[in-house]
Structure 1
Amino acid sequence: MPRTVLTFGTFDVFHVGHLRVIERAAAYGDRLVVGVSSDALNVSKKGREPVFSQAERLAIVGALKPVDEVFVEESLELKRHYIEQFGADVLVMGDDWKGRFDEFEDICEVVYLPRTPAISTTALIEKISDLA
């Protein structure tokens, strides 16, 4: 029986940490579905517009070899709906969310992956801004 893996992210200013989490998430199953945070969700989570638009981020993530399907994540509160909608067997999140999604263990496996050390989109944006 094929296993569907679901993960989420903003994936703004795409970097190797993003690639590694997608590759590692894909290893948990046969099909990888990725929710890309909407521009509005990014503003509510991080207090700023993403550098790359929602359409651009969907195109970047969707073009990656391990990714089978992408969609726009409209709300953090809809995680259960997305798990059910895509028939996810595994939810993979970064360990900065550890414990936050344990409530979904009743419908799927929940895995928290360690983040790639010393790589942060926010830090990259700040570094670029300092150079400008």
Structure 2
Amino acid sequence: MRVITFGTFDMFHVGHLNIIERARALGDSLVVGVSSDALNFSKKSRYPVCNERDRSRIIGALAAVDEVFLEESLELKAEYIQKHQADILVMGDDWNGKFDHLSDLCKVVYLPRTPAISTTELIEVVKSLPAEG
């Protein structure tokens, strides 16, 4: 079974690792679409802290990941699933129900997010730290 998942994976943290490892456990191989900088800006009105090249390198270096590609648009999920011949789409449960329409292409699974951690919260913590100098 070939699994596909998507994410920004900015400021990589244990929540990212958890969903990648749980996604990989559902199949024999894992393909990860890393959101482009432009896609992230369109979703969140901000660019990621780490650029798309660096985020892709980090994800590609993980033992659980077999292939990485750049996700340019949320509307292309069906094309990405077909291109990568995915049997299972894994998304975090913050997207619950939003990709059910793709169930004719593959099984759609929503996994729970890791409690008490998010990239947005990490960014806010870092921003609130006093500047040294």
d(CA) in 1 for partners of 2:102, 2:7 = 18
1:6 to 4, 7, 10: 4
1:108 to 103, 106, 119: 106
Q: CA deviation at 1:16?
A: 0.2
Q: CA deviation at 1:75?
A: 0.1
Q: Which runs of 5+ in 2 are unaligned?
A: none
TM-score of the pair, normalised by structure 2: 0.97
d(CA) in 1 for partners of 2:117, 2:56 = 21
**Paired letter, 1:73:** E
d(CA) in 2 for partners of 1:100, 1:49 = 23
Question: 1:47-126, aligned counterparts within 5 Å?
Answer: 47-126=45-124
d(CA) in 1 for partners of 2:22, 2:121 = 23
Deviation >3 Å, runs of 4+: none
Residue by residue over 1:11-66, the C-alpha shift from the partner in whole angstroms, topping out at 9 and shown as x without a partner, is 00000000000000001100100000000000000110100000000000000000
- Number of residue-to-residue matches in the alignment: 130
Counterpart of 1:18 in structure 2 is: 16
Q: Which runs of 5+ in 1 are unaligned?
A: none
TM-score of the pair, normalised by structure 1: 0.98
Question: Percent identity at matched positions?
Answer: 68
- Secondary structure, aligned partner of 2:39: helix
- Secondary structure, aligned partner of 1:106: coil
**Paired letter, 2:89:** L
d(CA) in 1 for partners of 2:105, 2:126 = 41
